[in-house]
Amino acid sequence: MMISQKLYEGVDLGEGRVGLITYMRTDSLNLSPIAVSRARKFINNNYGSQYLPEKPKFYKTKSKLSQEAHEAIRPTDPFRMPESIKNFLSPDEFKLYNLI
């Protein structure tokens, strides 16, 4: 949790602190329309339209106890590839960011 907290609060990428992930203490499946749009653009640009569903998929939680006040955990910018910022992260931060 300490590593994810640091990624959430921000890491200095040479141009100041940048939050790399959304709030991590959630089990929400919700994503903002902007995040979905940027993710779709990333998939199309990097992998091609054959890997992009015609329409985005949305999921609903089945748990009545889920904490959905925040978005699902995701990178704040899908275009910020883990390898491109590896030199600014500790090995554990890089592993976690790469996983997310």
The H or E element containing residue 18 is strand 17-18
Residue of 75, 90, 71, 77 whose CA lies nearest to 30:
71
**Pseudo-torsion of CA 90, 32, 26, 64, nearest 10°?**
-160
The Cα 84–Cα 18 span in angstroms is 14
Cite the active site residues: 23
